[in-house]
Amino acid sequence: MQWAILSGIEGNLAAYEAVLQDIRRQRSPVTDLYIVGDVVGLQGNNEAVIDRLRSPRTGELEPQVCIGWWEEQCFSLHGLSGLPDAPELMAQFGGDGVKHLWESVSRKSVGWLRSLHFGFHELDCLLIHGSTVSYADELTPETPAIQLCDRLIRADANTLFCGRSGLTFECWVTPRKLRSTVTTLDGKQEPQEQGKTPRRVVGVGSVGRTQGQATYARYNPGNDDVTFSTVTYG
């Protein structure tokens, strides 16, 4: 068993095709394909990417896709979220970015994006775009260890795969003495020991953000190994 975990296609179909070709070349066959958000963006043809994801070719894996930052911007533009008019998108990419995203993703495609999961809990892993805190939660190697630990505990996972940063990284966290307390209407509950098992956050890279170079991650649940790949194309 081996998983391929992607993020950040951002409308870049050529990059996605290059990664699929690299996946097919692996000696150890990839059995599961996950895409943790940002399938649309400003890097190419969003409709073509969505069509490709929805209709894999004969013999190809069915991609399991969850929602990312760019999908949330689509929902905001179409009045399907608590933040209308995509203020995050406007702040980062201005009016031109808003116009491009609005015109490049059809209402029908937004409906399909809306049907996607927020993340995937598989074995002792969580695969998600940001974290359980937010789709916009950007975890990096510079994120404080206590914050990474918090995200892992919230995720109830030993490995958290995320794609928001677009970086490839593997950060281990070993809680030495960590206890959590839950407060309910009946008062505080007994503290729970979180254990000392090492946990990690893995950044899975970005397929389409950098033109000509795609990065993604592979994971072998049998031996717990993570491998990063860089694919050049074009």
Report d(CA 218, CA 227) in Å as an integer: 5
Rounded to whole angstroms, the Cα distance separating 34 from 62 reads 9
pLDDT (tens digit, 9 = 90+) per residue, 70-111? Answer: 999 999 999 998 888 899 999 999 999 999 999 999 999 999
Neighbouring C-beta atoms of residue 230, cutoff 10 Å: 12
Q: What pLDDT, on a 0 to 100 scale, did the predictor assign at position 197?
A: 82
Q: Counting every residue, how long is the chain?
A: 234
Tell whether the torsion through CA atoms of 154, 159, 162 and 165 is positive or negative: positive
User: What is each CA distance from 104 to 70, 82, 98, 131, in whole angstroms?
Assistant: 12, 22, 10, 27
Asked if 201 and 173 touch (Cβ cutoff 8 Å), the reply is yes
Which pLDDT score, from 0 to 100, does residue 3 have?
99
- Which residues are paired to 127 by β-bridges? 120, 161
At residue 191, the pLDDT reads 53
pTM assigned to the model: 0.91
**Rg of the chain on CA atoms, in Å:** 18
Spell out the domains of the chain, with CATH numbers in brackets.
Answer: 3-149+158-174+200-232 (3.60.21.10)
What pLDDT does 189 receive? 59
In order along its 234 residues, the chain shows pLDDT tens digits of 999 999 999 999 999 999 999 999 999 999 999 999 999 999 999 999 999 999 999 999 999 999 999 999 999 999 998 888 899 999 999 999 999 999 999 999 999 999 999 999 999 999 999 999 999 999 999 999 999 999 999 999 999 999 999 999 999 998 665 555 556 666 655 655 555 689 999 999 999 999 999 999 999 999 999 999 999 998
* CA atoms of 73 and 83, how far apart (whole Å): 9
Reference 126, options 149, 148, 158, 150; nearest CA is: 158
> Half-sphere exposure of 157 toward its Cβ, with a 13 Å CA cutoff?
25
Q: Which pLDDT value is given to residue 174? A: 83
In what helix (H) or strand (E) does residue 6 lie, and over which residues does it extend?
strand 3-6
- AA identity, residue 171: C
Per-residue pLDDT, 81: 85
